[in-house]
Amino acid sequence: MTSDMKGVKAGKLRIAAISTSKYFVPRLLGPFYARFPGIEISLKVTNRERLLQRLSNNEDDLYILGQPPEHMDIKLEPFLENPLIVLAPHNHPLSGHKNISAARIAEEPFLIRESGSGTRLATEKFFKKQQLSINVRMELGSNEAIKQAVAGGLGIAVLSAHTLALEKNTDELTVLDVEGFPLKRNWYVAYPTGKQLSIVANTFLDFLRTESKPMAERYMQGLPNYHS
């Protein structure tokens, strides 16, 4: 931490975060607030389209997203891994199998996120690269709805491992061991090029760089097939 950041006492911090990052950004705010209690934080959790609009209108201090936008003049810094895993109901016939082929998994009924979702874009890109097309059973607009539908046996899904942060001990869901997975992605923090960040925003940026990884490692510990 730089010396002027140690002196941060008060100020406002506006963060806009993409939907899936709600699994870890709010968790970081507790320890951040404990260290800098005078900082007033507002967090807007929104979808990708709205987040990019806010970014181009310069409405917030910092933006957290998983899929870097093209053609925008922004500063972008990866600060945390965002692995995508294949989620299935606990009693799925492929549960416990090793190194399941991408071709085999593509035959399963898939539950996918809404169009425009970074998770969906990355999933489609992966299967397209393998020249496979997935068998889409249903589109659902939220990670939580998808997890419930997977647990209910409607299909399988590719989701960020962060969505399982509080569910490691669930006996309803399992992570399948599929070749090429976990898909390696990152969380990025962004802001418009040329924007002069406030001391408060710089303090949070510094906090993201140093604290998000150890925090994520703590809560992801024990997640099956996460580090494979």
Residue with tokens 């071709």: 103
Measured CA to CA, the distance from residue 210 to residue 177 in angstroms comes to 30
Cβ 122 to ligand PGA shortest distance, Å: 7
Is the CB of 17 or the CB of 200 nearer to ligand PGA? 17
Site for ligand PGA in 67-86 (CB under 6 A): 67, 82
Is the CB of 27 or the CB of 48 nearer to ligand PGA? 48
Helix count (H) and strand count (E) of the chain? Answer: 7, 10
Q: Quick one: which of 117, 163, 174, 212 contacts ligand PGA (CB under 6 A)?
A: 117
Measured CA to CA, the distance from residue 65 to residue 169 in angstroms comes to 27
Residue with tokens 């990025």: 188
**Site size for ligand PGA (CB under 6 A):** 13
Site for ligand PGA in 137-166 (CB under 6 A): 160
- Check residue 20 for interaction with ligand PGA (CB under 6 A): yes
Q: Which residue from 139, 126, 132 is spatially nearest to 182, judged by alpha carbons?
A: 126
Is the CB of 83 or the CB of 155 nearer to ligand PGA? 83
How many residues can be counted in the chain? 228
Answer whether 150's CB lies under 8 Å from 176's CB. Answer: no
Q: Quick one: which of 81, 86, 87, 119 contacts ligand PGA (CB under 6 A)?
A: 119
Answer whether 224's CB lies under 8 Å from 174's CB. Answer: yes
Interacting residue ranges for ligand PGA, rule: CB under 6 A: 18-20, 48, 65-67, 82, 113, 117-119, 160
